[in-house]
Amino acid sequence: MRRKGLKILMVTSEAAPFAKAGGLGDAVSSLANSLSSLGHDVRVLLPFYSVIPRDLRQNFHPLPGILSVHLGQEHWARLWEFSPPGRPCYYFIEYDQFFFRDRLYDGPYGGFEDNPQRFAFLCRAAIDLPEFLQWIPDVYHVHDWMAALVPIYLETVARHGPLAHTGSVLTIHNLQHQGYAHRSIIDYAGLPWELWQPDKMEACGGINFLKGGIYFANKLTTVSPTYAEEIRMPALGCGLEGVFRFRGGDLVGILNGIDQDLWNPAADPTLPANYDVDSLSGKNLCKMDFCRQRFNIKEAGSRPLFVAVSRLYSQKGLDVLANILPWVVETMDVRFAILGCGEWLLEEQLASIMRCFPGRIWFYRGYDETLAHRMIAAADFFVMPSRFEPCGLTQLYSMRYGALPIVRATGGLKDSVVSREQGVNRATGFVFCDLTHQALYNAIGWACATYYDCPDDMLTMQQNGMRRDFSWEQSSRRYLDCYHWAMEKKT
Ligand code: ADP
Ligand code: GLC
């Protein structure tokens, strides 16, 4: 049966290339692109942050009129539109008191105190938007705690209005962040007080946005099948495992795809040389260029280059890598290059290790997308020893760029990387289980031995990864099934 094109409204705090702190922004916009190319009317609402690059902002157009946002008290905001032909339509809600800041979520002293108010505002704006546009979505697809109040509004104060038949799908990209607030947020958001109950939004005497969203969304997804199982158990359920078991029948794990045009070694304009699966000589030039610039050496081929590009937070397990790095470079003939920023102590640790091992370890403290592309292209191996990883995109990027991922068997890493022990004809990387110093050291040693002793296997594994299909093709169809299930619940 052929289904009609859907009207989908995505609500998100990030969308690449406008505003991104990590993979959430990549995932939302590449899924939106994929759904739009399948013929659906996809629109995306996000805040008009002052960090959106000026050259992108130049293409936004103001919508006529002012949106009134019906929180406990009415607020008024302007909307801007960016609607390139054949692509999703983006709406940016302007409210400088909340979104005119140097960063998306946090300052030097941690998360912004008014984050609950900022994202309650976004969610309520998403509820008021359809009438303003005279465009009623079939389904809301909302992402993480920042958009989790949308399903709650839909099932409470907006239950009988024009959105009465609109379904909701909540995708959890990272359960570590749940959106805790003082209970007074209920009045601020204009929500009813009966939500302040343990089987709704209440948590530890306050309010948990995500918990409420999980109770009320018509369908729940997370970004890999393994993570969808892991969060039902205490170790990775972050206190919500009981809620997931309660809603378990509606929870689906769908592996993220990637934007294969943006991440394409054969046409990536940021690289010094392009290459594809049939000829990797360009990759060697990328490695040579990188090693010359960052390690001040002329040759590239002799030693393996291990790379990590990451937010530096405990989730990513790079503290364990930092602890063993001196031991690794003293006992193995390898080079390490790391790009990242996050926890200050880890940044300091990596910076001081780099000073002790010049020419062998290089660390760049910061966020730099061009450099990320160049490092992944130059890498022989990509290290990602995450404590937990809902999906992970960088291991997908690295396989596409012929860098073999070394990953811990968790979440989307387990679902996307085929380990060497599965046989060289299928393998795309190295998978280890325990996040211990010894296990990570052994995995790096295993990769190093493959590089030096089995270059043919190495090439086969690189080609296996480069040939894998990481497009949204299949996953976006699974999201469409979820949208239809959600809509059925509202008919
Ligand atoms: P997460 O969202 O948990 O950070 P993902 O692997 O899903 O992990 O996505 C990370 C995204 O952020 C990728 O696009 C990666 O290239 C990018 N990224 C992370 N840290 C940096 C950095 N320091 N510089 C440039 N890009 C980065
Ligand atoms: C989160 C997760 C990451 C995932 C990304 C996109 O940031 O930490 O694993 O890839 O969202 O879904």
For residue 23 and ligand 2, the question of a CB distance below 6 A is answered with yes
Whether residues 148 and 13 fall in one domain: yes
In a domain, 266, yes or no: no
Whether residues 187 and 288 fall in one domain: no
Whether residues 371 and 453 fall in one domain: yes
Q: Which atom of ligand 1 is nearest to the CA of 316?
A: 3
In a domain, 480, yes or no: yes
In a domain, 159, yes or no: yes
For residue 391 and ligand 2, the question of a CB distance below 6 A is answered with yes
Cβ atoms within 10 Å of 64's Cβ, excluding its own: 7
Q: Which atom of ligand 1 is nearest to the CA of 174?
A: 3
Instruction: Note down pLDDT in tens along the chain; length 491 residues.
Output: 456 799 999 999 999 999 999 999 999 999 999 999 999 999 999 999 999 999 999 999 999 999 999 999 999 999 999 999 999 999 999 999 999 999 999 988 889 999 999 999 999 999 999 999 999 999 999 999 999 999 999 999 999 999 999 999 999 999 999 999 999 999 999 999 999 999 999 999 999 999 999 999 999 999 999 999 999 999 999 999 999 999 999 999 999 999 999 999 999 999 999 999 999 999 999 999 999 999 877 665 689 999 999 999 999 999 999 999 999 999 999 999 999 999 999 999 999 999 999 999 999 999 999 999 999 999 999 999 999 999 999 999 999 999 999 999 999 999 999 999 999 999 999 999 999 999 999 999 999 999 999 999 999 999 999 999 999 999 999 999 999 999 999 98
β 206-208/202-203 pair status = antiparallel
Taking the centre of ligand 2 as the mean of its atom positions, its distance from the CA of residue 134, in whole angstroms, is: 33
Taking the centre of ligand 2 as the mean of its atom positions, its distance from the CA of residue 25, in whole angstroms, is: 9
Question: What total of structural domains would you count in the chain?
Answer: 2
- The single residue listed with the structure tokens 């304009």 is 269
In a domain, 275, yes or no: no
Whether residues 287 and 358 fall in one domain: yes
Whether residues 156 and 50 fall in one domain: yes
For position 339, which CATH number holds?
3.40.50.2000
User: Alpha-carbon torsion 151, 156, 162, 167, what sign?
Assistant: positive
Cβ atoms within 10 Å of 339's Cβ, excluding its own: 22
Whether residues 216 and 68 fall in one domain: yes
In a domain, 263, yes or no: no
For residue 174 and ligand 2, the question of a CB distance below 6 A is answered with yes
CA atoms within 13 A on the CB side of 367: 9
90: helix, strand or coil: strand
Per DSSP, the residues of 17-54 read TTB-SSHHHHHHHHHHHHHHHTT-EEEEEEE--TTS-H
Return the best residue to mutate from 268, 365, 393, 417 for the ligand 1 pocket (most ligand atoms within 8 A of CB): 393
Q: Which atom of ligand 1 is nearest to the CA of 369?
A: 25
Whether residues 408 and 325 fall in one domain: yes
Whether residues 484 and 397 fall in one domain: no
For residue 173 and ligand 2, the question of a CB distance below 6 A is answered with yes
In a domain, 40, yes or no: yes
The C-alpha angle 338, 339, 344, rounded to 5 degrees, equals: 100
For residue 221 and ligand 2, the question of a CB distance below 6 A is answered with no
For residue 236 and ligand 2, the question of a CB distance below 6 A is answered with no
Nearest CA to 211 out of 234, 195, 188 is that of: 195
Nearest CA to 286 out of 268, 273, 276 is that of: 273
Whether residues 21 and 142 fall in one domain: yes
Whether residues 203 and 285 fall in one domain: no
What are 140's strand-pairing partners?
9, 168
Range of the domain at 213: 7-257+473-489
Whether residues 335 and 449 fall in one domain: yes
Whether residues 224 and 297 fall in one domain: no
In a domain, 371, yes or no: yes
Taking the centre of ligand 1 as the mean of its atom positions, its distance from the CA of residue 217, in whole angstroms, is: 28
In a domain, 265, yes or no: no
pTM above 0.85, yes or no: yes
